[in-house]
Amino acid sequence: MAILARLFYWQILQAEKLQKNASDQHVFSMILPARRGEIFTQDGYPLVINTPASFVFAEPKNIENVFQFSQQVGAILNMDSASISGLLTGDAVWAPIQHKVSNEDGEKLRALNLRGLGFEKEAKRYYPEASMAAQTLGFVGSDEHGNDYGYFGLEGFYNRELRGKDGRISIEKDSSGAPILVGNSTRIEPENGSSLYLWIDRSIQHIAEKKLLEGLEKYGAKEGTVTIMDPQTGGILAMASFPSYEPAVFSKYPKELYSNPIVAASFEPGSTFKSLVMAKGIDLGVIGALTTMEETGPVQIASYNIRTWNNVYNGTVTMTDVLTHSSNVGMVFVQQKIGTEKFLQFLRDSGLGDTTGVDLEDEARYELRDDAEWKEIDLATASFGQGIAVTPLQMVRAVGAIANGGYLVTPQMVKEIRSSDGKKSIRMAKTKKSQIFSKKTTEIVKEMMVTAVDEGEAKWAKPKGYRIAGKTGTAQIPVSGHYDETKTIASFIGFAPADNPRFVMLVTLREPSSSQWGSETAAPLFFSIAKDVFLYLGIPPQ
Amino acid sequence: MKYLRFLTVITGGLTVFLVIVHTIQSCSLVEIGKDVQKIDQEIQVLELTSDDLTSKIASASSLTTITFRAKEIGLNVQPKIVTIEGSQLVALNILP
């Protein structure tokens, strides 16, 4: 009876625990980590790939001399030896020292042949083009469990697709630790992460970054962005912004640099917004390219006087003249013709107050104020792009509608997602489109913008032989509730070739010191980039 | 009785035979297990080598490296692009 009772105890009551104890002794389990997907440009060049690295750890009980150990390891890993010593105190049998140690440093550490120093292989991100498109790519850090996790940009937005799914192996082993292919063994293969193929073109991105850096230096600007989009598909061909950071060593840079100002920061578009307001006026039929107005002096709205940028008034002017000479007074005339309700509806239809839907994690949403809060002066200043906040991408998207026949497209970063085995390929759905201008309107505004380039303030910088539609902008920067006249954001937005636009581009320069005007800073930079892009795309002069 | 003895011998013999077969099979499976482990390790090494080579190729073909090499071999001056307008004569146009 006692034997039966004991057997019942071991076989039934303690069965689960004993099975676990036994399996711990003879079953070998480990996680098979999934490889993180890589990121390529549309022409197939890698922007982010994986490279072998090591996870370096210590077994304190096996270390002979903690002080010497910490000194030697710290010198190679660029770590404070005191912090390494701190990890090695106490009863810990195992202490992590550093993840993602490069192969080069790993070899140096191995050569030391230190007792108590261990290595485990792991992968780390490698950026062959260094900091190219850093704020667009984002970076890989760790989550709360110490696993790789994508933050910001594409790494953040597509973290789930890129990271894949870890596998698991569980197999019985013999006394020497060798696996036995009998009994309970399971092997679930990891599903490696998918790779992203972007719309970004490596050469166009390089041109944009190189020229932007040169421009920042030449014009003494604090910050700058260049956004280039295919107006037909919404595919982003280049996104450059400075100051930036190196994603491989992101932790060495201030956190403020991590988000992409092209989608996360707003600015007042200034006169670049005029072409959109003009298009709405023409679309509604309240004005035409040859409609005239009397520009005899400043226009008074409530207690404010609105002047032209140079305080010069040209008498009877057409709407084309208004755009060419960037007349604020003329734009107030257009806004008043459009009317309050339709003007506010136009702001919403143009995508202001909402996100563009681009596939980047850090896109911010800047809401428009309620309709009831718009005063007459607000409507007037909004007509020439002051008092409203837009992101550079919102502006590119809206002006893209003039370039593509009136359609507001959803900008896209990723063109295709390919599974790791290359068998499955998901081409991203075609961009959603909503028509905000008629085709006829866009043709008229396009010609007005071509004239604005050919006869406007920036005509001296335009590449000869090309028809480029564009508009300069110089917006004052609001500081503590008022505009600082000495600080401006200079910009130029346009598309080319005007008759069959291959790209729409926006250049912004914050606080240029050589000149505050967009026509003397952002515009020549735009044309300089456009000239190289024409050559690269093989677009001859007309 | 004879039949019972025969059955006992046969069963005993069969049991011994099966034990030997199982032992041989287990040994062979252990060997295969070791082979599988070895292959897994080799695959891992090959993957790491492949990653390493991919990184080196990517690094060598990056625009930064190409620009640096181009400057090294003296390609410092950007050529001026000459465009010919429609009205200008080019070689092909002077043929009859």
Higher per-residue pLDDT: A260 or A118:
A260
What range defines the domain where residue B52 resides?
Answer: 2-69
Structure tokens at A157: 């937005």
CB contact under 8 A, B36 and A179: yes
CB A487 within 8 A of CB A475: no
Asked whether residue A207 falls in the same domain as residue A152, the answer is: no
Statement to judge: residues A382 and A305 lie in one domain: yes
Which residues of chain B are within 8 Å of residue A540 when distances are taken between CB atoms?
83
Shared-domain flag, residues A121 and A216: no
Identify the three-state secondary structure at position A15.
Answer: helix
Could you tell me if A206 and A84 lie in one domain?
no
Give long-range contacts, CB 8 A cutoff, 24+ apart: A308-315: A309/A271, A309/A474
Looking at the structure, tell me whether residues A180 and A206 fall in a common domain.
no
DSSP A240: E
* A343, pLDDT greater than 70: yes
Read off the pTM: 0.87
CB contact under 8 A, A123 and B51: yes
Instruction: Name residues whose C-beta falls within 8 Å of residue B85's C-beta, 6 or more positions apart in sequence.
Output: A465, A541
Which of B45, B56, B63, B81 has the most A C-beta neighbours within 10 Å, making it the best mutation to test the interface with A? B63
Assess if residue A511 is contained within a domain. yes
Contact A180 B29 (CB under 8 A): yes
Check if A535 contacts B (Cβ < 8 Å).
Answer: yes
Backbone angles phi, psi at B17, to 5 degrees: -60, -45
- If one counts the domains in chain B, the total is 1
| In a domain? residue B81 | no
Check which CATH number belongs to the domain holding A517 and give it.
3.40.710.10
Nearest CA of chain B to the CA of A178: how many Å?
Answer: 6
Whether the predicted pLDDT of A69 surpasses 80? yes
Task: Give how far Cα A372 sits from Cα of A31, A339, A344, Å.
Answer: 59, 14, 11
Looking only at the bridges linking them, the beta strands covering A39-40 and A195-198 are parallel
- pLDDT at A214 exceeding the cut of 60: yes
Please say if the pLDDT value at position B93 is more than 60. no
Measuring CA to CA, how many Å separate A97 from each of A126, A188, A241? Answer: 21, 30, 35
Question: Can you read off the two tokens belonging to residue A138?
Answer: 């984002």
The answer to whether residue B80 is domain-embedded is no
pLDDT for the residue numbered A181:
62
B26, B48, B85: residue with CB nearest A182: B26
ipTM field: 0.73
* B91 occurs within a structural domain: no
Same-domain status, A221 and A120: no
Q: What integer is the mean pLDDT of B11-34? A: 85
In chain A, residues with a C-beta closer than 8 Å to the C-beta of B23 are none
Asked if B33 lies within 8 A of A178 by C-beta distance, the reply is yes
Which residues are registered as beta bridge partners of A470? A494
Nearest Cα of chain A lies from the Cα of B14 at a distance, in angstroms, of: 22
Q: Is residue A253 domain-resident?
A: no
**Cβ–Cβ < 8 Å for A466, A496:** yes
**Domain-located, residue B77:** no
The answer to the question of residue B92 being in a domain is: no
Question: Has residue A211 got a pLDDT over 80?
Answer: yes
Q: Do A185 and A172 have their domain in common? A: yes
Q: Does residue A147 register a pLDDT over 70?
A: yes
Residue A450 included in any domain: yes
The reported pLDDT for the residue numbered B35 is: 83
Q: What average pLDDT does range B45-71 have in this prediction?
A: 89
CB pairs under 8 A between A and B: 64
B11, part of any domain: yes
Q: Please indicate, yes or no, whether residues A221 and A192 belong to a single structural domain of this protein.
A: no
**Which of A3-17, A92-106, A166-180, A486-500 is predicted least confidently?**
A166-180
pLDDT in tens, A124-144: 999 999 999 999 999 999 998
SS3 of A300-312: the string is EECCEEECCCCCC
Domain range for A37:
13-198
> Mean pLDDT, chain A, as a whole number?
91
How high is the mean pLDDT of chain B?
Answer: 81
Tokens of B32: 């295969």
Q: Decide if B13 touches A, using CB distance below 8 A.
A: no
Residue that wins the pLDDT comparison between A146 and A471: A471
The structural domain count of chain A equals 2
Question: What confidence score (pLDDT) does residue A273 get?
Answer: 96
| Mutual angle of helices A66-77 and A103-112, in 10-degree steps | 160
Give per-residue pLDDT as tens, A414-462. Answer: 999 999 887 777 777 666 678 999 999 999 999 999 999 999 888 888 9
Q: Checking phi first, is residue A481 left (phi over 0); if not, alpha (psi -120 to 50) or beta?
A: left
Q: With contacts defined as CB-CB under 8 Å, which chain B residues touch A210?
A: none
Q: Which two tokens stand for residue A4?
A: 């039966």
pLDDT mean over B19-28: 85
Residues A175 and A314 occupy one common structural domain = no
For testing contact with chain A, the best of B55, B78, B85 (most A CBs within 10 A) = B55
Put simply, the answer to whether B62 touches A129 (Cβ < 8 Å) is yes
Domain assignment present for residue B55? The answer is yes
Q: Cα dist. A101→A40, A96, A131, A506 in Å?
A: 24, 12, 19, 40
Q: What string of DSSP letters covers A141-194? A: EE-TTS-EEEESHHHHHTHHHHH-B-EEEEEEB-TTS-B-SSSS-EEE--BPPP
Residues A160 and A284 in one domain: no
A129 touches chain B (CB under 8 A): yes
Residue A256 included in any domain: no
Q: Which two tokens stand for residue B50?
A: 């492949």
Q: Reply yes or no: is the peptide bond before residue A60 cis, omega within 30 of 0.
A: no
A276 and A193 within one domain: no
Spell out which residues of chain A touch residue B30, defining contact as CB-CB under 8 Å.
174, 178, 180
| Residue A285 belongs to some domain of the structure | yes
Asked if the structure places residue B21 within a domain, the reply is yes
Q: What angle do CA A301, A303, A307 make, to 5 degrees?
A: 55
